[in-house]
């Protein structure tokens, strides 16, 4: 019957659970972040899906470098207090429950405050296999 998955097809191709602990926590690479940053539960959709991301934890003072996303990005803040900054605009405080949308190509950063850590889920779709265009670090002056 068309459209019905037969028992012979591997169910893992339809629904795949990656178990907690199956992926080690990884540090945010120094080239793209300032301070202590940890990435957990990284995920990447299988084609034709494009979404990827993970849970990113920033210790106080930690932040991304300036960057942009070819198809935009959604951040779901889950813990702490943080900030999101846009080039040539004042940065904004973000707190748990906040949903942040960053439009395609907008130069920005996100991270903790000086005194509080922050955690968010980050989701971005890839264009030609790339979700992020990384730029220079956010200086202490820009972070103030």
Residue with Cβ nearer Mn ion (30 or 103): 103
Segment lying near Mn ion (by CB under 5 A), choices 20-28, 36-44, 73-81, 92-100: 73-81
CB of 110 to Mn ion, least distance (A): 6
Burial tier of 69 (Cβ tally within 10 Å: 0-12, 13-18, 19+): buried
Closest distance of CB 2 from Mn ion, Å = 42
| By CB under 5 A, residue 57 contacts Mn ion | no
Q: Measured between alpha carbons, how far is residue 48 from residues 13, 14, 18, 45, 80 in Å?
A: 13, 13, 19, 8, 34
Give the tokens for residue 124.
């971005």
Q: How far is the CB of 131 from Mn ion (least distance, A)?
A: 9
Query: For 114, left (φ over 0), alpha (ψ -120 to 50), or beta?
Result: alpha
Which of 54, 55, 62, 73 binds Mn ion (CB under 5 A)? It is 73
Residues in contact with Mn ion, shown as a per-residue x/- string from 16 to 55 under the rule CB under 5 A: ----------------------------------------
Query: Per the structure block, which two tokens stand in for 137?
Result: 């670090």
Stretch that binds Mn ion, among 10-18, 20-28, 32-40, 67-75 (CB under 5 A): 67-75
We find the least distance from the C-beta atom of residue 29 to Mn ion, in angstroms, to be 14
* Contact by Cβ (8 Å): 62, 109: no
Hey, what are 58's tokens? 């920033």
Contacts of 65 (CB under 8 A, 6+ apart): 31, 32, 33, 34, 109, 134, 135, 136, 137, 138
Region near Mn ion per CB under 5 A, out of 40-48, 68-76, 82-90, 111-119: 68-76
Residues that bind Mn ion (CB under 5 A): 73
């Amino acid at each position: 019957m068309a459209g019905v998955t037969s028992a012979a097809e591997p169910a893992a191709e339809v629904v795949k659970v990656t178990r907690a602990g199956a992926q080690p926590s990884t540090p945010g690479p120094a080239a793209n972040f300032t301070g202590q940053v940890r990435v957990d539960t990284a995920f990447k959709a299988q084609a034709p899906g494009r979404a990827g991301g993970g849970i990113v934890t920033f210790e106080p003072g930690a932040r991304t470098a300036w960057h942009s996303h070819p198809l935009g990005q959604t951040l779901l803040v889950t813990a702490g207090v943080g900030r999101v900054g846009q080039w040539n605009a004042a940065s904004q405080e973000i707190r748990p429950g906040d949903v942040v949308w960053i439009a395609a190509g907008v130069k920005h950063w996100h991270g903790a405050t000086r005194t509080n850590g922050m955690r968010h889920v980050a989701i971005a779709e890839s264009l030609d296999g790339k979700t992020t265009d990384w730029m220079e670090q956010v200086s202490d002056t820009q972070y103030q």
